Amino acid sequence: MIGYVTLGTNDFERSKAFYDKVLAVLGAERTHSWERMQCWGSRRGPMLAVCRPFNGEPAFAGNGNMVALAAPSLDVIRQVYETAIAAGAIDDGPPGDRGGGFLGAYFRDPDGNKICVYRFDA
């Protein structure tokens, strides 16, 4: 399974502040930190990280790439989405039922990375 996912950033401090706010709603906290990378999650579970690209080239969002963050309820999905938008994210699909028991919301972080917050309700 996935241990961690990294998202490139062109403004490391802005990204850290953005994800501090957004991921706190899901109960995540800063874990590992290096000069060019910051991770959130738990030390034993999956993590999300932002980093300045190692090759020194500008970071850019991939077309078709997306990170999905699990949430315990539609209420939490809404809270994460609203926190992200207030912190500078761009709407890419408001919270709601997407069919088949899939509840989700979509936004793009300040670097353009696509994030989904979701829950499956069978």
Q: How confident is the model at residue 100 (pLDDT cuts 50, 70, 90)?
A: very high
pLDDT of residue 31: 95
Whole domain around residue 37: which residue ranges? 4-53+66-120
- Do the domain assignments include residue 11? yes
Predicted TM-score (pTM) of this structure = 0.92
CATH number at residue 113: 3.10.180.10
Residue 106 scores a pLDDT above 90: yes
- Give the model's pLDDT for residue 44: 80
Look up residue 101 and give its amino acid: G
pLDDT tens column, 25-82: 999 999 999 999 999 998 788 999 999 999 999 999 988 999 999 999 999 999 999 9
pLDDT computed for residue 63 by the predictor: 86
Q: Where is pLDDT greater, at 64 or 20?
A: 20
Number of separate domains in the chain:
1
